[in-house]
Amino acid sequence: MTHGGRSVRGELPWLGVSLCGILAAHAFSHFVIHRGAIVASLAATGTVPGWMWGALFAPELVACFIVGWRLTRWWQVGLYAVGATVVRQACELALHFAGDAGHVIEGPRAVLVATPVVALVYAMLIGLASASGRQDRQLDGA
């Protein structure tokens, strides 16, 4: 298995597959956990247990770790973090414009304001996974 292309062009197929994985994780988080558990819990009890908020972000955390594990260069981490941010924020805007429950109140401005924080979180998660993967490969080579 290759651990990343030497150029942006060589990385594009992996980037496409990875962004589809992050999109799938975000869709699962929204349609299964947000709609199925969090909105239902709010309707039934008026509160949301803490574990549900953790479960909401778990699929994206796993996807980021899988994506980052194979990356060997820091420019790749940046490229993937920017791509993941664009995908996630585009999904949030689409949910807002579709009038989806839980996304009606926050507008495009809120999504735009949150974008730098989302990018930083993705960079940290993917960077941590990349560093872990590099360390694991070093240990395997020793």
The total of other beta-carbon atoms located within 10 Å of residue 133's CB is: 18
| Cα separation, 130 vs 68, whole angstroms | 5
Amino acid at 51: W
Q: Which of 141, 35, 53, 16 is nearest to 95 (CA)?
A: 35
The domain spans of the chain are: 9-137
> pLDDT digits over 9-64, tens only?
888 999 999 999 999 999 999 999 998 999 899 999 999 999 998 999 999 999 99
Q: What is the pLDDT of residues 51-68, one digit of tens each?
A: 998 999 999 999 999 999
In whole angstroms, give the CA distance from residue 82 to residue 134.
Answer: 21
What sign does the dihedral 94-97-103-109 (CA atoms) show? positive
Q: How confident is the model at residue 78 (pLDDT cuts 50, 70, 90)?
A: very high
Query: 103-116 pLDDT, tens per residue?
Result: 766 778 888 899 99
What secondary structure letter does DSSP report for 134? H
Structure token pair of residue 14: 């992996």
40-68 CB burial, b ≥16 within 10 A, e <16: eeeeeeeeeeeebeebbeebbeebbbebb
